[in-house]
A and B are shown apart, each in its own frame.
Chain A
């Protein structure tokens, strides 16, 4: 069974640019969550999607957005990139949303802002 696939694995951008990251969940999983991981702040929740609807959002500025498609694949977009956006962006999928649902993580996209 294929795991969660995130593309690209590595990305280098400059300040002010925008970026789109992609996540393909495990087949049959309908909930997708996004996290930002940095050495200083650890893993921080960005948002969660289920059935193409954003169900939950973390404390990030509006420059961070996402969407989910009918096949459950998800994308996140970051506009007007800042140096502080350099991080590992992780996507996780689960069968359905809910407290205690096991999250299956991809290996992340490493975003570096120059």
Chain B
């Protein structure tokens, strides 16, 4: 069974601060996705990373896939209240398509 551990579980910061959230596993994933979910809505895909060591940037968000494809991180620079939400990582792999989700990091950015 593939498991994804996300840390921290909760994070409350002030506007303008930087933060990093982590997604770790003992399993190798063919790809890893990050989603953001806001209250009352479904998750929205932010990025997909597929190559070990890959780094992708989306405005103030930087995503990195570990060299061994077992872990990933999301770094947010100068966080804004609009970044508030539940950040979920999801790994895919194996012969059958099946996404395994971490339990998420609930981020609150206070103005």
Residues of A participating in the B interface, judged by any CB pair closer than 8 Å: 4, 33, 35, 41-45, 48, 55-56, 58, 90, 92, 97-108
Contacts and interface: CB of A to CB of B under 8 A. Distances in A.
A100 B98 contact: no
A45 B90 CA distance: 11
Given A90-B42, A107-B41, A99 B31 contact: yes
A43 B30 contact: no
B104 to A, nearest CB: 6
18 contacts: A41-B103, A42-B103, A43-B90, A44-B101, A45-B99, A45-B100, A45-B101, A56-B97, A92-B42, A97-B97, A100-B30, A100-B31, A100-B48, A100-B50, A103-B35, A104-B45, A105-B42, A106-B42
Nearest to B103: A42
A102 B42 CA distance: 14
Interface string B1-36: 000000000000000000000000000001101010
Interface of B: 30-31, 33, 35, 40-45, 48, 50, 88, 90, 92-94, 96-104
B42 A48 contact: no
Contacts of A103: 33, 35, 43, 45, 90, 99
A100 B92 contact: yes
A9 to B, nearest CB: 9
A103 to B, nearest CB: 6
A35 B43 CA distance: 11
Contacts of A48: 97-98
A105 B103 CA distance: 17
Contacts of B40: 107
A101 B99 CA distance: 10
Contacts of A35: 101
